[in-house]
Structure 1
Amino acid sequence: MSKKDEKPKESYLELIASMKNRGIKFNITSEDAAESFMESNNYYFKLASYRKNFPKTNGKYINLDFAYLQDMAAIDASLRRFLSDITLAVEHGLKVKILDLITKNDAEDGYSIVQEFRTNKPKSYGRVLSYLNANRYSHDLYLKHHNEPAIWVFLEVAPFGDLSQFIEFYFNKYPNRALKRIVANMKFAKNIRNAAAHSNPILVNLFTPKEFLPHPTQTVISEANLMNIDASLLNDMKIHDLIALFYLNKLLTSNSARKHLYDHGMQVIERFNRHSEYYQTAAAINQFKEILGNIIDYQIST
């Protein structure tokens, strides 16, 4: 049986009927309001993913109203905006750090390292140049520099993934302790960056085998201890990757920038708490909120 036959397209009324069959209620949000919401604000596939945070018995969810899913979608959107700000700060900090190292490296002229990267990582190099060419706001840079871009031009437009590849390439050529810690955590931070940038739900599959990480990194284990996060929770992929991201943020950004991000993070925690009564049976959500609060507090700790 094909997927099309197994899960055919359904109308909004059919989707609502399917939710009701699973035990989802429409007491706080009416069925008409739910239909309007799915038409204009959020789509069923994303909304439905949040239902897995709630307990069920005999195949039906217990005390789950459609309004809870709406609220969780809003919380998740707020969380993703916050995490996007963090990843942008980390990306900027990474560029400042690598350019500082190259500026102080007498063996580099700022040009040859880009050509070496081109030889070693042609796909990554090509993506950056293609982006530079396609970006109308940076097209003048492409016209002036595409034949032999300087590192400061190249990194100006390098996306997070290609920036990470360049930093790892540079570290392999010039190993040092500071870059070793950064390289060890970049790929985990990138997971959060990609989820936030592509509007993928964060608050799904928390503390489940679907996102089990068998071997947390030593840096994350050490930082989690400073954050008062139990080591047993580090096998959750999202918790692990969040700690890696916030570790890099503390390592690479200024005190004033972190204070601003801390304030934003507290707004996210407040948004979690707006309808805390909805989540009395959602243990994973409450645990995630507590951990997130610890991670956010860590940003302004000494």
Structure 2
Amino acid sequence: MDKPEQTKKPMLSFDDQVKWLNDNAFRIDKNEENDVLLFLKRKNYFYKLQSYIDCFELQIKSFDMLVDISTIDMELRYVMLKLCLDIEHATKSYILRITTNDPKEDGYEIVKNVIETDDNPKKFKNDIFSNVTKFDTSDNKKHILEPYASHFDNPPIWIVLELSSFGKLRGFLKYLSTQRENNSDLQYLERSFKYINILRNNCAHNNPLINNDIFIDEKALPHYIVTTLGSDGIWSEIYKRPLLLNTALALKAHKKLCSDSSHQHRIEDLNQWLERANQKKHLYSDCEIKKMIELMKKIVDIYV
């Protein structure tokens, strides 16, 4: 059976975008139309702004509010990305430190075990080396570049960690946590890593953070996550909101893994963001974003 032909939506001109906002979101006065046009042309694109409108519906009352949401969202992504990059570097150092301090480990066996226990070992290994491959037109194949090609058959941990993406680190944490069940830091990192990875990917891919993830999600969380955060003073109103859950878990991991000075830099970044987010707090008196900002402050204060 043939699939029905997809209906193409027309691409809106900038004038049409202003009209759409006026018809579907909020009233735009004639004297501010030029400012709105300039913003759409130079500073942000309509389809990302539309995602905020779809999410918050009638809570967005003006173009000034829409611009402010897009700005604080962008600035929050920048802050969170730095936090996640710190965690990535520190996690790699942590894994390597554990491996180096183990007299039974040669640096090769751990990689072999992690790859073999993955659901798709071949893909896992190929993904690790994917960033150091080059397509050769002479044989129409991808080849791994040197010096990495010589390590592909039996890669050591120090090469693999250099090449691994953030998400691939979870496989090593999972393996190490099963070998060291009494290591509370490893247990925490392994169980929280998927949430931190969601935060990292959203930041790295420039996806909005201020979206449906700031609303309460009643989906059940693992008991370990609930009790761990609860012992820190994080209550359900916070951890049931996905963005705040991921932020709390990331800040806790950062405090465990990174130096005190590094952690204080990120706390300062977040406090500066909170200060910026509150500059126009009058805009959010009837918006869920106000509650998100208040709860974000609680998280920062807990993990200072």
TM-score (norm 2): 0.84
Q: Deviations over 1:216-263 (max 9, x none)?
A: 543344425534x43244222222222211111111111111111111
User: Tell me, which stretches of 5 or more residues in structure 1 are unaligned?
Assistant: none
Q: How many residues align?
A: 288
Aligned residue among 9, 12, 15 for 1:13: 15
* 1:296–1:260 CA distance, 2 compared to 1 (3 A): same
Q: Does 1:214 align with 2:220?
A: yes
Identity percentage of aligned residues: 26
- Distance in 2 (alpha carbons) for counterparts of 1:206 and 1:253: 27
- Residue matched to 1:127: 127
- Residue matched to 1:254: 259
In the TM superposition, what are the counterparts of 1:1-302 in structure 2 within 5 Å? 4-5=7-8, 7-27=9-29, 30-52=32-54, 54=56, 56=58, 64-121=61-118, 122=121, 123-133=123-133, 141-143=147-149, 145-178=151-184, 179-208=186-215, 211-224=217-230, 226-227=232-233, 229-282=234-287, 284-300=288-304
Give how far 1:97 is off.
1.5
Asked if structure 2 preserves the Cα contact closer than 8 Å seen for 1:124 and 1:165, the reply is: no
Give how far 1:168 is off.
1.3
Q: State the SS of the aligned residue for 2:212.
A: coil
- Distance in 2 (alpha carbons) for counterparts of 1:29 and 1:112: 69
Q: Deviations over 1:133-165 (max 9, x none)?
A: 46xxx9654256444332112102211011112
Of 175-184 and 212-221, deviating more is: 212-221
* 1:274–1:255 CA distance, 2 compared to 1 (3 A): same
Hey, which bits of structure 1, 4+ residues long, moved more than 6 A?
Answer: none
RMSD of aligned C-alpha atoms? 2.6
Asked if structure 1 preserves the Cα contact closer than 8 Å seen for 2:95 and 2:172, the reply is: no
User: Tell me, which stretches of 5 or more residues in structure 2 are unaligned?
Assistant: 135-143
* 1:297–1:232 CA distance, 2 compared to 1 (3 A): closer
Letter matched to residue 246 of structure 1: L
Give how far 1:52 is off.
4.9
- Distance in 1 (alpha carbons) for counterparts of 2:5 and 2:213: 29
* 1:28–1:250 CA distance, 2 compared to 1 (3 A): farther
TM-score (norm 1): 0.85
* 1:90–1:29 CA distance, 2 compared to 1 (3 A): farther
- Distance in 2 (alpha carbons) for counterparts of 1:3 and 1:169: 46
Give how far 1:109 is off.
0.3
- Distance in 2 (alpha carbons) for counterparts of 1:55 and 1:118: 46
Asked if structure 2 preserves the Cα contact closer than 8 Å seen for 1:90 and 1:253, the reply is: yes
Q: Deviations over 1:248-302 (max 9, x none)?
A: 11111111111111111111111102222222221x11111111112222332xx
- Distance in 1 (alpha carbons) for counterparts of 2:12 and 2:5: 16
* 1:287–1:2 CA distance, 2 compared to 1 (3 A): farther
Letter matched to residue 197 of structure 1: A
Give how far 1:119 is off.
3.1
- Distance in 1 (alpha carbons) for counterparts of 2:31 and 2:112: 58
